[in-house]
Amino acid sequence: MQEVIIGKEGTQKFPINNSRVSRQHAKITVSDSGQWTLEDLNSTNGTYIIDDNDELVQIKKVSITEFTRVVLADQTSMGFTFFAQHVVEDDPQNYKAEFQYVLRIHDKALKEKAEIDAKIQKKNMMRFLPGIISAVIGLLLTLLLPFNQKVYGVAVTALFTALLQVIINIYLGKDSKLKDFSNKYSNKLTCPCCSKPLSEIEFKNQMCSRCKAHA
Ligand SMILES: [Zn+2]
């Protein structure tokens, strides 16, 4: 079993000097069978994890995985954010495994984004629908109605078009998938070392431009 106390005076191999982190803030235990546990050591400002929904959750004692993001105090520079895995890393300057993990999340995010975009594009095609249907109805009414009633055909077509447009706009307006998407990933696509949100260029270079951590 392996046990690491994390804090300003912890037993982790890397220094933590961030002001809101307690001297002995939290403890990570890795059992012989590879079970990871995170426990808060009654820290002043609390211990959090970023859960599967990308939300910050305060914990007392939980099971985690090696790639759980742990937040001591908060996500600012006064707190400290790291991957659990980093406490067993022999070389604290080495962020390779964590960076590769973030790259995998990024790949997954891109795929999901492409699927959402395709769906939205499909839905947007429906905006043409009222125009097309109305044109057909208008044409039929104009052809079929006797001469002195053709004016009603125009009115019915106009009314129908307006109605259809309202219905379709209500239907299309419901789409919030893109917003859900950015909520789901905003906390996860960040540098494993300095927590800076990574840009597409940084993902392409597989390196953080601020702290130079890389895959
Ligand atoms: Zn960085």
19 — pLDDT class (breaks 50, 70, 90): very high
Ligand 1 centroid, distance to 71 Cα (angstroms): 16
Q: Name the residue range of residue 14's domain.
A: 2-93
Ligand 1 centroid, distance to 189 Cα (angstroms): 11
Mean pLDDT of 31-48: 97
State what percent of residues in the chain have pLDDT above 70: 99
Q: CB atoms < 10 A from the CB of 72, how many?
A: 27
SS3 81: strand
Mean pLDDT of 43-59: 92
Give the pLDDT confidence score for residue 175 in this predicted structure.
Answer: 62
Taking ligand 1, which is a single-atom ion, which protein residues have CB atoms under 5 Å away? Answer: 191, 193-194, 196, 208, 210-211, 213
Ligand 1 centroid, distance to 84 Cα (angstroms): 16
Q: How far apart are CA 96 and CA 214, in angstroms?
A: 6
Query: How far, CA to CA in Å, does 33 sit from each of 6, 16, 30, 36, 63?
Result: 22, 28, 8, 9, 13
Q: How far apart are CA 151 and CA 190, in angstroms?
A: 63
Give the pLDDT confidence score for residue 146 in this predicted structure.
Answer: 85
Instruction: Kindly state whether residue 192 falls inside one of the protein's structural domains.
Output: no
Instruction: Kindly state whether residue 207 falls inside one of the protein's structural domains.
Output: no
79 with 116, same domain? no
38 with 108, same domain? no
Ligand 1 centroid, distance to 176 Cα (angstroms): 31
The CATH number given to whatever domain includes residue 37 is: 2.60.200.20
Ligand 1 centroid, distance to 190 Cα (angstroms): 8
Instruction: Kindly state whether residue 206 falls inside one of the protein's structural domains.
Output: no
Give the pLDDT confidence score for residue 202 in this predicted structure.
Answer: 96
Is 61:38 a contact under the CB 8 Å cutoff?
yes
Instruction: Kindly state whether residue 196 falls inside one of the protein's structural domains.
Output: no
3-state SS, 25-40, equals CEEEEECCCCCEEEEE
Ligand 1 centroid, distance to 99 Cα (angstroms): 10
| Phi-psi region at 55: left, alpha or beta (left = phi > 0; alpha = psi -120 to 50) | beta
Instruction: Kindly state whether residue 208 falls inside one of the protein's structural domains.
Output: no
174 — pLDDT class (breaks 50, 70, 90): low
125 with 58, same domain? no
65 with 112, same domain? no
The four Cα atoms 30, 32, 35, 39 give a dihedral, to 10 degrees, of -30
Ligand 1 centroid, distance to 179 Cα (angstroms): 25
62 with 44, same domain? yes
65 with 117, same domain? no
185 — pLDDT class (breaks 50, 70, 90): confident
Ligand 1 centroid, distance to 173 Cα (angstroms): 38
Counted residue by residue, the chain has a size of 215
Number of domains in the chain: 2
State yes or no: pLDDT of 72 exceeds 90: yes
86 with 110, same domain? no
> What is the pTM (predicted TM-score) of this model?
0.74
Q: How far apart are CA 175 and CA 188, in angstroms?
A: 23
pLDDT tens by residue, 116-167:
888 888 888 888 888 888 888 888 888 888 888 878 888 888 888 889 888 8
Ligand 1 centroid, distance to 36 Cα (angstroms): 25
Ligand 1 centroid, distance to 66 Cα (angstroms): 19
Is 178:120 a contact under the CB 8 Å cutoff?
yes
Instruction: Kindly state whether residue 199 falls inside one of the protein's structural domains.
Output: no
- Structure tokens that stand for 204 in this block: 């392409």
Ligand 1 centroid, distance to 62 Cα (angstroms): 27
86 with 148, same domain? no
Ligand 1 centroid, distance to 192 Cα (angstroms): 7
Give the pLDDT confidence score for residue 122 in this predicted structure.
Answer: 85
